[in-house]
Structure 1
């Protein structure tokens, strides 16, 4: 894992897409003030803050501090992990009502298919010296249902009172997001500031990420043929890792050839809207200045407007300005560093 960080002082690299792709300049000040504060749950520890922002609280659903390579992360893809409709017919009807309202506001919205997080299981590989392995349980959902459940003002009504997370969230869309803690060759971490155009967490700081996409592996619906299912599951497992690289490339402009194979470090869930996300650690073989230049040519100019390359110390300062699922991603990164003997 990475070496212990060295203190480099206020040397945050900053670049905004508003510069029109010109060569970026370095801003020697820390990231600008952000009007968000948070307080800790028992699942995380943070410095005391002036007030609580519920959107920054989180729960760690799965932590893999040692980090797992692709060979030790598999997928169980099955319709049993799809969302269960809520028995309250009026609550179910609200999904279409909310979606239709959103369509009137923005006719370009598209209800794309997403992988739904339905839990996980761990086991040891008897053939490889008892190596610890994880299986992610995935079903299918779509953006319409996500808007009508997780993003609905009625989202709490869809929850079931249970300590079992998969039962608690069985009526939620819960598409599995992803995020990457990308470490540059000069030991900086890449953080993006979300634009004000996005529906979720506008203006917040986030790690690069998005979603693994079913359509990337040719999935539009569940299949029944046993042979096809076996091959399908292998493709879905690969998409968990290929998808996060694709997101980093699109959002930062860093070519895939400059990125290491992702290491899976766990799954966190934002408490507000119970939004789950899988997190990965990725090394980048170029420095933060080069990343800033590449960002100006990134494909995705809609979701983020600024990129910061921050030291680990600065990231600790910023972590209270991240939405809950990304707060959890930061916690997973810290646990990974601790397991590797780094502070």
Structure 2
């Protein structure tokens, strides 16, 4: 039997499908690093989401490890380079949660532009702040999408329907219908809204920083539902305080949970809308993620 360990929560139906395969010996428990290191020599297939960090030492101790499966898009919590050196295949589900993330992106964009969260909080506290919450429309504005992959394209489709002009930067994409592909400097210069849909790599870490913000329009709104590390949050804080950036909407942070002093200060600003990394947290997305992951897993293991 093939030993499979699920170290992060997976949809109940998916667990049942795994356990129904007689070829698999399945265990499901979140193990912190020391316990995972102790168990990993016996594991052939490791299934994780974003909570588990599959670091080089974990991979090196996985002497029987054949597959690392990430139920989600990003692979920044997995040392892919070490896995490849060991001949361990890494699977993920890049498209399964695209619609959910795109919809959250649009919700955050609207919330930032129209002060929805602040208005709600004020009303709950018995305060009528109608005159203080004048916002901006999306219609006729330019949306700059950094990363026009699966999620970025879903955002672009929705932005076009809203009557926005859409430009995008992506070194791997030459054309997408209804979108003008531009370089980063032009995107910064013309965009009223900027949304990020890139993985966290050496090239994208702190892509949005003091220098890039200085190239943006005054009053730009920045949305990030990709990875926290692509924004230098200290630079974002300064730009919000100085009102260079009108508002920011963040689903992800470089430190999660964002409990350190910098991010506490950032979250206290009235120009911030934030959610706790819930881009893929919909019933539909989690169902698609689980089904797609299991399909790929069973194909790799040649299990029908």
Structure with the higher fraction of residues in strand conformation: 1
Q: TM-score, normalised by structure 1?
A: 0.22
Give the number of the structure with larger relative contact order, counting CA–CA contacts within 8 Å between residues 6 or more apart: 1
- Larger Rg over CA atoms: 2
